[in-house]
Structure 1
Amino acid sequence: MDEFLHQESCSIRVFMAWTMPPSQLSLTVHHQQTLESHFHLNACVVVLSDTIENDFFNTFLQKGFKVAVVQPNLHELLANTPADVLANVWVQWWHKIPLFHLHNTNLLRLGVLYKYGGVYMDMDVIVLKPLDSLCNTLGSEILANGEVCLNGAIMAFNKCSPFLRQCPEEFTATYNDTLLEWNGAELVTRVANFSTGNGVRSFQKQVLLREGKVRLSFFSFSRYFVAPTDKQQQVEEKELLTRIFEELFATHFWSRLTAVVVPEKGSLVETIFYQYCLHCTDIL
């Protein structure tokens, strides 16, 4: 890991995680386009995974991408953090908890960013703007009711960030394996909003988060995977697409809902997928 990340040609460190069991190793074209969407050909991309073979991304390497598959070591990633105690029991829970792969990803991204610093992205996030300007920043989403909440689908932090040290402490103290977002988006939101004023577990958001939030758009519904059928829809989607490219750093295509959905030619989603692709093939 250290040798790979300290190449002189690494302009930015990007981390991803694939924690699905071997029986569910179903990387799709959507995941390929996540890699293709990086603006930085000199980015060093590390995919943390126990199940992806080391040579899985050889076609990307041949195109000049710097991608490495690394088997995560939780003892190393969580050393000297409050979550280190979890490393001893984590593997034992693998087959006992239905949503374990989600909780595992949540823990890995906190550990790897704390230890190395850089950008973490879910493997179903499409990059729309350069990421090298991001620092101490979390993704955010706007809910249907207009409320803005934080989301860990994209995170950019310095090595040993105080915010990221606070997150494993909250993870360990409040861990709940029955709730979908409790250890993920809700955890980073709790920590960002948490301030006791006692000088022990408090922090100033404007100092630790700086820019604070990078807006994401989420496409888990089928409408934008289908090409518009009338002029009114065409106008609306063109305006939406303009806003997306102007305002957003990334879009998040929830793969658990859209992995097998193929965007139609001329659809908004298809335009986003192929706007910045560098490899641009249809087979992973």
Structure 2
Amino acid sequence: MLKELNCLSLESRRTLHLSNLVFKRFSGKLPPYLNKLLPLAVPLSYNLRSRTRNGIILLEITDRMKPPPLVLCSIESIARVYPERPLTFFMKGLPDIKSGDYQTQARKRFPVLSSFENIYFFPLRMDELYADTPLLPWYKKVSEKYWIHVSSDGCRFAAMWKYGGIYMDTDVIAMRPIPYKNFLAAESADYCSSTVFGLDPRHNFIWECLEDFVKSYHGDIWAYQGPHLLTRIMKKTCGMPTFKNKEDASCGNITYFHPQRLYPILWSSWKKYYEVWKEIPSFNDSYSVHLWNFMNTAEKKTLVLGSNTLIEHLFKRYCPTTYRSAGFWPIAGPSGAG
């Protein structure tokens, strides 16, 4: 250790010293899971890890620093459904950590979420996230038509490989906790979804995804590096599981969810979220709902207070704090996650 420190430049030593101070300050207050996320927030020379595996990861891979209500609702709903789990929101637009009061300062940026003690904000640094994975060489040389979405795919796979837990897109509203550690979800009978999934860190399935991401790369084809990639690996590993009625399937130690668990309303019917229903669905067979925000990019449908639409009911029930502060903000916006 001493020899390694002597090889560092003065600037690197100062960075390491500052990082250690930040780590000591945070490690006394943050859940153990977040201690190992500090290498992404600060350019540490030494990896700080823990073995806790129950965190939830969300991403904002653009520079957007004013999340629209749907993103805030998504985060709030997840924080409420999983109060004992650390929810880490990585944002590309956040500054580097330079002091021990970073979380306090970060929370001031998002007052709607500031009361939830299990939400933490960290800067997303892709080169750090992709380090020690097959994706780092790809990241340094490739730029594509669907760069935001392709980068989001890469980030979620790299984060799940390194840290495990649950990944969720920020247009997902959580309704009840998922009781499994290792799970994937079917979007339809033919495709696996990358919107929500959970795996142990260093799970071989994710490593297969990382290798295929580079080996079979076609970033110019929509969804090829995300749900289509997971579908390819699923077929390679187990064949495509089939469902009996609404029962879940399995692939090794991975539970494979029936589409009803996460997609009770399919992408082709996304506008139903903005319609008035005679009877609000119970969603009793679902852990969450996906609002398919990328489908709303052109129309920019909004949450209208007092409209009695399905989305208003979801906001009222699962993210009441966001709902009370929402006003007439638009739900749609440039997608930063999925």
TM score, norm. by length of structure 1: 0.77
2:95 pairs with 1:46: no
Find the aligned partners of 2:131 and 2:302 in 1 and give their Cα distance. 42
Find the aligned partners of 1:113 and 1:195 in 2 and give their Cα distance. 18
Alignment length (residue pairs): 252
Structure 1 residues 212 and 79, CA gap change in structure 2 (3 angstroms): farther
Shift of the alpha carbon at 1:175?
A: 1.2
Aligned to 2:67: 27
2:308 pairs with 1:282: no
Listed as ranges, the matches of 1:257-276 within 5 Å are 257-258=295-296, 260-264=300-304, 265-276=307-318
Find the aligned partners of 1:126 and 1:149 in 2 and give their Cα distance. 21
Find the aligned partners of 2:186 and 2:31 in 1 and give their Cα distance. 27
Shift of the alpha carbon at 1:31?
A: 0.9
Overall identity of the aligned pairs, in %: 18
Aligned to 1:201: none
- Tell whether the 8 Å contact from 2:73 to 2:173 is kept in structure 1 after alignment: yes
2:56 pairs with 1:36: no
Shift of the alpha carbon at 1:26?
A: 5.5
Find the aligned partners of 1:213 and 1:165 in 2 and give their Cα distance. 24
| CA root-mean-square deviation | 3.0
Listed as ranges, the matches of 1:83-232 within 5 Å are 83-89=135-141, 93=143, 97-131=144-178, 133-142=179-188, 147-195=189-237, 206-211=251-256, 215-217=261-263, 218=266, 221-228=270-277
Find the aligned partners of 1:261 and 1:65 in 2 and give their Cα distance. 31
Structure 1 residues 191 and 11, CA gap change in structure 2 (3 angstroms): closer
Q: Which moved further from structure 2: 177-186 or 216-225?
A: 216-225
2:289 pairs with 1:251: yes
Structure 1 residues 256 and 221, CA gap change in structure 2 (3 angstroms): same
Aligned to 1:13: 55
- Segments of 5+ residues of structure 1 without an aligned counterpart are 198-204, 229-233
Structure 1 residues 46 and 213, CA gap change in structure 2 (3 angstroms): farther
Larger radius of gyration: 2
TM score, norm. by length of structure 2: 0.65
Shift of the alpha carbon at 1:41?
A: 2.4
Question: For residue 302 of structure 2, what is the amino acid of its counterpart?
Answer: V
Shift of the alpha carbon at 1:5?
A: 4.7
Shift of the alpha carbon at 1:216?
A: 1.9
Structure 1 residues 176 and 211, CA gap change in structure 2 (3 angstroms): closer
Shift of the alpha carbon at 1:123?
A: 0.7
Structure 1 residues 5 and 89, CA gap change in structure 2 (3 angstroms): farther
Shift of the alpha carbon at 1:119?
A: 0.6
Question: For residue 55 of structure 2, what is the amino acid of its counterpart?
Answer: R
Find the aligned partners of 2:258 and 2:132 in 1 and give their Cα distance. 27
Find the aligned partners of 1:222 and 1:175 in 2 and give their Cα distance. 32
* Per-residue deviation, residues 97-120 of structure 1 (Å, max 9, x unmatched): 331111111001111111111110
Indicate the structure with greater strand content.
1
Question: For residue 165 of structure 2, what is the amino acid of its counterpart?
Answer: G
Find the aligned partners of 1:227 and 1:196 in 2 and give their Cα distance. 41
- Segments of 5+ residues of structure 2 without an aligned counterpart are 1-22, 35-51, 96-105, 240-249, 330-338
* Per-residue deviation, residues 21-53 of structure 1 (Å, max 9, x unmatched): 45xx56211111101212122331212221246
